[in-house]
Amino acid sequence: MNAVETLIGRLQKVRGRNGSWTACCPAHQDKSPSLSIRDAGGKVLVHCFGGCDVHDVLAAVGMEIGDLFPPDEVIRRHDEQKPQIRPKLYATDLLRIIEFESLVVAVAAYDLSQGKRLSADDRERMLQAHERITEAVEFINA
């Protein structure tokens, strides 16, 4: 049984066709159907025209918001089909990132040149600086 069938099975005065239904809202005293339910490609959209919050509606029938959406695997597969959109970054932003991370590396290099040992946190921060500089350069070259 899918999410929409589960939800509809727990409601009163359900009427529907073509992937849309109306029913009495279980979260308030509803004499005529004020709850709208729609199957949107595996996701279930719920709206109470009486003003009830979707969380309250679902709680009244023993469901949670996560029950209305497909598992992560389905979402991930769906997202993989979308073209990758490259975020907009300005060259000045990338230069600021590189400048700051270079300062982190410079401070660590100075400490090492003075015979100081880097702590585990400092080494981790150095790796993070390296990753950020590399990502900025790759973004520029893409």
**Per-residue model confidence (pLDDT) at position 74:** 45
**Per-residue model confidence (pLDDT) at position 73:** 42
Question: What is the number of other CB atoms lying within 10 angstroms of the CB of residue 37?
Answer: 22
DSSP-based three-state secondary structure for 86: coil
**Per-residue model confidence (pLDDT) at position 28:** 86
Name the token pair of 58: 């679902």
Number of H helices, E strands in the chain: 5, 4
**Per-residue model confidence (pLDDT) at position 80:** 55
**Per-residue model confidence (pLDDT) at position 124:** 93
CA distance linking residue 134 with residue 16, whole number of Å: 55
pTM of the model: 0.48
**Residue spans of the chain under pLDDT 70:** 1, 42, 70-89
51: left (phi over 0), alpha (psi -120 to 50) or beta: left
Torsional sign, CA 58, 59, 61, 63: positive
